[in-house]
Structure 1
Amino acid sequence: MARATGIAVWTRIAAQLREDIASGAIVPGGRLPPEAALASRFAVNRHTVRRALEDLARDRLIRIEHGRGSFVAEPVLDYQINLRPRFSEWVRRHNREPFGDKLSLRMIDPADLPECTIIREVLGLAAGEPVLELLRRGTADARPLSLSRHIFPARLEGLHAALLNHATITAALAQIGIADYLRLRSRITCRMPTPRECALLELERDAPVLHCENVNVTAANTPLELCFAIYPSHRVALIVEPTA
């Protein structure tokens, strides 16, 4: 790359890479060429390329994963944690098309689940009382955004059939007479995904996820659901605002 008076070479490289990203030559989530390839392309040393990449990372146009390379940043969708947990409404507010893919639905003894103690406590289950476990993958414009396990008391009459017949949990609950439900609390942590979660969310093994443990209740404050949901941390930002 020929030098221009007053303009650092790394600045010009960064500007060219910005143009490549803006034009769609490198799509969101796509990997940039390795540093060595970029150094060859611009006829500079790798240190100069690295400085250009760091500039793009500061502006959040790319993310640098040590040992793997640099990737064009994907749009991050803000998810406001509020009273009504509605995946479809959240995605549509970002002008994306939501879809909930039902991966499995089964009746199971909570004793067979690792979260047995909290499930029984939150849902107020009697000894030996089963639950319904629904596994769903949520997407926006076909891009995976969430993987969630929804645990309901199996005593809710007609819920199994309603969950099978409806695309959304809200519609399924409405069918059995639960017109509204609210979020009582959420506990948010961060962890690394399992290999299966990586496959379902189209993630690299070292991409962290946000893990939410949500307790939902009916409008009458009756325990309804315990939900364990994960979100790719580079695609979703969880927003919590004080209510008072």
Structure 2
Amino acid sequence: MTQRTPIWKAIASSIRHDIAEGIYGAGDKLPTEASLAQRFGVNRHTVRHALAELAEENLIHARRGAGVFVTTTPTDYPIGRRVRFHQNLRAAGRSPAKKVLMLETRTASTAEADALRLTVGAQVHVYEGLSLAEGRPIALFRSAFPATRCPDILEHLGENPSVTSALAKCGVHDYIRASTRVNAKLATATQALHLQIAEHAPILRTIGINVDFDGTPIEVGRTWFAGDKVTLTLSDE
């Protein structure tokens, strides 16, 4: 027997969709609980339950005596040959930042070795971090770089979290995206904690390989975008 979705979850999903579609923009006031209850044919307690989930995801916030307002709207993030985090966010009118979560050197996994064309047992430098827009987390990422090609990259990233800047200091002054794969996932407990969303909320995972202009792979990265905070768009650039 198919299990039915709780009505409050369906209401939260509907309001979330309205925000994603721009029906309610950043700073806009949502209809009152009474209006939403009438719209969905439920009582106000059910509406309150749905709004509580959206508040937990930081999509909305309540102002005492004023109502409930939209906190943010999804950020357009182009995926193309020249993927640059800071450049993409500034083009979307958002203020970008990165937070370093981990820098380490270890043996490449099988998938990393294949993507970077490394031999079994080769070392990679790994950078894990959090991408932010307007100070709010929108994505988690993990990037691996060939240790022999980029021996000092972790030191550079410790000084400046920009991958483009760190690669330039390693002699890679420009690079392009060779491939990007995108699929949908549900947030784990730790991902939800970092992204400030509910556990099992939808996220988009991308796996990208960047190469230099000789076609040699210099980075393989996985990024987990908060599904309702980012809209991935295809770009020819």
**Aligned to 1:187, which of 176, 181, 205?**
181
Question: How do 1:114-193 residues align onto structure 2 when only pairs under 5 Å count?
Answer: 116-155=109-148, 156-193=150-187
Change (3 A) 1:84 1:69: closer
SS in 2 for 1:196: helix
1:76-134 deviation digits (Å, cap 9, x = unpaired): 11111111111000111122211011111000112xxxxx2221111111222111110
Q: 5+ residue gaps in structure 2?
A: 1-23, 43-48, 61-69
Give, in whole Å, the separation in 2 of the partners of 1:129 and 1:198.
32
Aligned CA RMSD, in angstroms, stands at 3.2
Q: What is aligned with 1:90?
A: 88
Change (3 A) 1:174 1:204: same
1:186-209 deviation digits (Å, cap 9, x = unpaired): 000000011111111101113200
Q: What is aligned with 1:50?
A: 40
Seq. identity, %: 25
TM-score normalised according to structure 2 size: 0.72
Give, in whole Å, the separation in 1 of the partners of 2:219 and 2:102.
17
Radius of gyration: which is bigger? Answer: 1
Write the letter of the residue equivalent to 1:196.
Answer: T
Alpha-carbon deviation of 1:22? 7.5
Q: What is aligned with 2:12?
A: none
SS in 1 for 2:200: coil
Alpha-carbon deviation of 1:68? 4.5
1:208-231 deviation digits (Å, cap 9, x = unpaired): 000000011111111111100011
Alpha-carbon deviation of 1:240? 1.9
Give, in whole Å, the separation in 2 of the partners of 1:241 and 1:171.
22
Aligned residues: 196
Give, in whole Å, the separation in 1 of the partners of 2:142 and 2:156.
17
